[in-house]
Amino acid sequence: MVTPFGWLASRITLQRRSLRAASLTAMIAAILIIVGGGVVRVTGSGLGCPDWPACTQGSLAPTAQMGIHATIEFANRLLTTVLCAAVGWVIIAARLQREPVPGITRWAWVQFWLVVLNAVIGGVTVWVKLNPFMVAAHFLAATLLLTAAAITWDKTQNLMVNEQPTSTEKLKSLGTIMLALNAVLVIVGTAVTGSGPHAGDSADVPRMGFDWQSITVIHAVIAVLALVVVMVIWRTAEAQQVPGVVRKAKMYVLVFAGQGLIGIIQALTHLPELLVVCHLVGSALVWIGAVRLMLASHAPQPSVTATAHS
């Protein structure tokens, strides 16, 4: 049975650069979804549209009388349309390659289903009036989407340069620990946000029952541990002559330094809205760096023959 994609693939082929552009666009769109949610939160617009999927029971879009909060919330919902178009482009570009790229195609479809999951959780978040644990789940679903987008883009980058990355067993173990620490960092970060002052709406929205200062200190300690592990990965990769891992470790440290500086400043200045949004951008970039570093550290080990000839 010939599928629509199979029929198209027999008649149309796309270049590798189209796939690279599509995967990068999808990753940027995934970042924008996270940032858009942050803008909704810090402006108190989370219930600007009190219903879902329509803004109100009688209107898909907000009315002029509903004010700026409804406009901000609805604009954030429209970002999902942009995201769907970007992910659709990745799926088509991957499927219509002259040489099949099944790994990239699979991850493109993973993005599609994570978009669906994110939309459903977003709707439930509105229905439960911004319950902080559901808001955290919404953010984590968006992070899963960003993970799939980052993996797709990383695989596309390797394809473009025809790179066959290698790693070692020790780096693989360290990469697993590093990603686990970063995952815990993201999860604890949702607790910091859920306990902080930006509830997402001007209404009386409940907060998580954590002491904000204590959970913030825990978040900072985990961040330092993650950075230490990356520094160990960097030194180990240099000693074992694994340049791909070295490059990505350096990129992670650079982005992490900027993110850490933003985090410290926002904590000392009582969480100004602009810095909170900047911190979200930083968290997305750090997570992308962690995912790409993990992928580099989990590359196959060089064969005995290749090692002997080197």
**pLDDT, one tens digit for every residue, the chain (310 residues):** 656 666 566 667 778 889 999 999 999 999 999 999 889 888 888 888 888 888 888 788 888 788 898 899 999 989 999 999 999 999 999 989 888 889 999 999 999 999 999 999 999 998 988 888 999 999 999 999 999 999 999 999 888 776 677 788 999 999 999 999 999 999 999 998 888 776 566 556 777 888 888 999 999 999 999 999 999 999 999 999 899 899 999 999 999 999 989 988 988 888 788 888 899 999 999 999 999 999 999 988 765 434 444 4
Q: What's the pLDDT score for residue 302? A: 66
User: Token pair for residue 162?
Assistant: 């025809």
| pLDDT of the residue at 13 | 75
**pLDDT for res 7:** 58
Predicted local confidence at residue 307, as pLDDT: 42
Q: Angle of helix 212-239 relative to helix 169-195, nearest 10 degrees?
A: 160
What is the reported pLDDT for 306?
A: 41
pLDDT at 82: 93
Domain boundaries, the chain: 1-163, 166-310
Q: Which residue has the tokens 């509903």?
A: 66
Whether cis (ω within 30° of 0) applies to the bond prior to 62 is no
Nearest to 218 by CA among 250, 251, 195: 195
DSSP tag of 98: S
What pLDDT is recorded for position 197? 73
Q: What is the model's pLDDT at position 160?
A: 76
What distance in Å separates the CA atoms of residue 206 and residue 216, rounded to the nearest whole number?
19
The packing angle between helices 169-195 and 273-297, to 10°, is 160
Q: Which residues contact 256 (CB under 8 A, 6 or more apart)?
A: 223, 226, 227, 230, 286, 289
Q: How much is the pLDDT for 16?
A: 86
pTM for this predicted structure: 0.89
